[in-house]
Amino acid sequence: MRTIRKVLAGGNTADVTEHLISMLEKTNNNEEFLQRLKDWVGIYEKDGYTTMSTSRFGK
């Protein structure tokens, strides 16, 4: 869940939500979706983009 929040906080909400829905449609189960999401975030960060790295609540 934290990864999804990180992704949503890192970009345009409408665009990110559309991409997440597209990813959900292409996976067979939650485990596969979460693995692909982690891979996507890794590629995103490797390319120099950042996601929200700190919690708004200080944790």
- Parse the chain into domains and list their residue ranges: 2-46
pTM of the model: 0.58
Spell 4-30 as b/e; 16+ CB within 10 A means b: eebbeebeeeeeeeeebeeeeeeeeee
How far out from the chain centre does Cα 10 lie? 8
Per-residue pLDDT tens digits for 9-51: 767 888 888 888 998 999 999 999 889 888 888 887 787 766 5
